[in-house]
Structures are given as structure tokens and as C-alpha cells.
Amino acid sequence: MASQWLLTFRRAARLFPIALAGFVTLLVFDPGVVRAEGVVQIGFWQDLIDHQGALAMGYATDDASASTYVDILSVGEVINVSLCGSVNADAITVEFYAPSNDATPVSTQNLASSNVDCADPMTAPLTTPMRYTSLETGAYRLVLQNTSKTGFGDSLFKRYDIIVTPDATTDPDPSATEGRIWGYSFSFNAAGFGETESTDANCYALVPGGRPNTSYVWQLDLNKFAGYGYNLIANSLGVDTPNSGYSTEQIGNAVTYKHPIYISYPPVADPRPTTPPALSSVRFVDSSGQDYAISPGGTVGIQNDGNFEFTTDITGTYSVLIDLNQDGIYGNSGDRQILGNAVVGLNQVPWDSNDAVGNSPPIGTYYDGEGAYG
């Protein structure tokens, strides 16, 4: 199953807690952690699945999520690409698409075999990369292809490194820290679930901050993560509706990519916002227009469902938590969570009066510490 991560800023509402944020995640960015821009960071057992392989395996859903992106900050900077397929003899093709034209590549480069050895320790500068000198700033899209292999498990790269240098005479250093490389989905084949096939990589999702010219950078800190074949994406809700926010099986669920994932901390990130989200006019209104009440066990079709309502001053992600097990702790087993994307102004969040598995909760009064609904 694809991995997602998110973070919530939580604020209690009158009769139910609502959380509002720009994103949801596991860990906050640690500015002391820096890495390189390829296999050195991700791990030598994490083979990168190429463009065609990611699409064929369902890890990518379109060209955007199957591609790799490079941020160019100054015209004339050089994109350097070093790759080895499943073996040194695999042919390689890289297409470069400019920020201003995503339809036609500005350069297509082909190699009959690798330009870095599949067993290279990646401890020295790389002397024979494919090079492309940028003509504009912005995000270049790269299509990486192992053109010798089309098999389900071998359309990949054993070594991969993408580095931006100031000119074409500077050899790329695979240990450099830049924060220029990102993707909407990174797909890997580690060929095993054991500790020796695991990764301790860090990835950084760049997320809008909700206010103008702000952003958040959230860190995914993998610790001996062993996924065998897997991909990483970042979005605001987890799996798609109706199971957003829940840990669930892949079968019967889908995941949608949204936020760019960087290999290192991105220099294009804006400052974090200093003003928190503001919530007002928080209430529950049932289908009969009555506040703070619902009666799914009463008359059929009367007051069986309704909407949580709130007003906010930013776009972001909301989380409505309903303490259905009445233990005073929101978000643990037995509670109902409803996630969604908030807009500026009035938001209406429908609730069908059921718990997370579709059952109607028992008749009663449910407290949140400040109020109740019955």
C-alpha cells in the first residue's frame, strides 16, 4: 500500500473537536538532518523503478506522478543525471521537459549502457553524467527510462543520482545537499522485507501554509522501513474517501498524490505562517435544522443525519473527531473521524450518524468536555 503522511493543528470546538491545518504528518522537520540527492540518501537496496515500470505497476497514475522533477533557481545551472539500470549493460534514456513546455522534451539523451557502475559506492564525484544546461528557471520534468527492460521487476535503476551544478565543468558530488530533486511519487523495489533491504531515508513534503507566501515542510523519517515493492506519496487526507484518516487495506481503497516530495530540504520553501487558523460559528445541524441533536435510532428518516458546520479564514485540512466510545479521548479506537479539505468561509461536513464501520452508535449523550449531543 502507498505511504502517506499528515499533521493536524487541533482546536476543540463546542460540541465536537475540529482540527484544521494545511497538512497531516508523522514528524516535524529536523533542520539538522541533511542528505544527498539519490541512492545515497534513499539507500543502496532501494532500486528506483523507472517511468514505464511505475505506470505498469500502478505506483504512478499519470506522467506527472511517474516523473522526477528538478528545481532550477538560476539560468545556466546544469542538471546532471547518473544512472545504472538493473545491470550495467542496460540502455538508458532521459527526457528533459522545460518548465514552460511540458509537452515536448527540450532534450532527449540516450546511453547504450550505464554512466555509473551498478556497484559504485557513490563516494567520489561522478565524472560522466548526462548533462543539460538550463535555459529558464522553474521545475524541469525528467522522464527516466531503462529502455532495455520492460519486465515487472527489472524496469529499474540500481544506481541513480540527479544533481544540479553551477556549470558543465563541475562534476556532481553524490553526497551534496541541495533540495532540488522532487516527485509526486517515488517508486522502489527493495526485493525483500528484511532489515538488510530496509531504508532509513528522510523525505520532505512541501505543503502550502494556508496563508499567502507561506509553506510547511514536513519530514517523513523512515526507520528500518522494509516495503519490498512500494511507493511514497504525500497528500492531505491519507486514503481517499470514505476511509480518509484510517489505517486500512489497499484492496478497495485508492490514494491520490498531491504534494511534492523532496529528497532533501527544499530551498524554494516559503517561511512558515505565524498566524494560526481561526475557527468560528462551529456547530452541528441535523437534517431537520435543529442544532446539536440527532436521533438515528428514533423515527425513520427524521433527524438521522446532518452537517458539522464551521467558518475558517484559511484553506487547509479539517478533521472532525466524534467521541463515540465516550472515553473522553478523541481519535482512538471506536471514534469516528471525518477528514476533508477546508475552504475560506463556511464549511459543511456531512455525517451519516454512523461509526467508522457503518454502524449506528447507541442512543445516548456524548460529551467532549465542553458540551454534548444526544
In a domain, 16, yes or no: no
Number of structural domains (the chain) is 2
- Do 323 and 358 lie in one domain? The reply is yes
What does the pLDDT read at residue 242? 80
User: Rounded CA gap, 277 and 254, in Å?
Assistant: 29
pLDDT in tens, the chain (374 residues): 233 333 222 222 223 344 444 333 332 233 333 234 899 989 999 999 999 999 999 999 999 999 999 999 999 999 999 999 999 999 999 999 999 999 999 999 999 999 999 999 999 999 999 999 999 999 999 999 999 998 777 899 999 999 999 999 999 999 887 899 999 999 999 999 999 999 999 999 999 999 999 999 999 999 999 989 999 999 988 888 888 877 777 778 888 999 999 999 999 999 999 998 888 998 888 776 666 666 555 555 556 678 888 999 998 888 888 888 877 777 777 788 888 889 999 999 988 878 878 887 777 665 543 333 33
- Do 218 and 286 lie in one domain? The reply is no
In a domain, 311, yes or no: yes
> How are beta strands 279-286 and 215-221 bridged, if at all?
unpaired
User: Rounded CA gap, 55 and 144, in Å?
Assistant: 12
- Do 54 and 119 lie in one domain? The reply is yes
- Do 308 and 185 lie in one domain? The reply is no
- Do 187 and 218 lie in one domain? The reply is yes
**pTM for this structure?**
0.83
Confirm if 22 and 318 have CB atoms less than 8 A apart. Answer: no
What does the pLDDT read at residue 153? 75
Sequence-distant (6+) residues with CB within 8 A of 331 are 321, 337
Last residue of a domain, one of 234, 262, 290: 262
What does the pLDDT read at residue 297? 54
In a domain, 30, yes or no: yes
What are residue 105's phi and psi, to 5 degrees?
-65, 140
Question: Which structural domain, as residue segments, surrounds residue 113?
Answer: 23-262
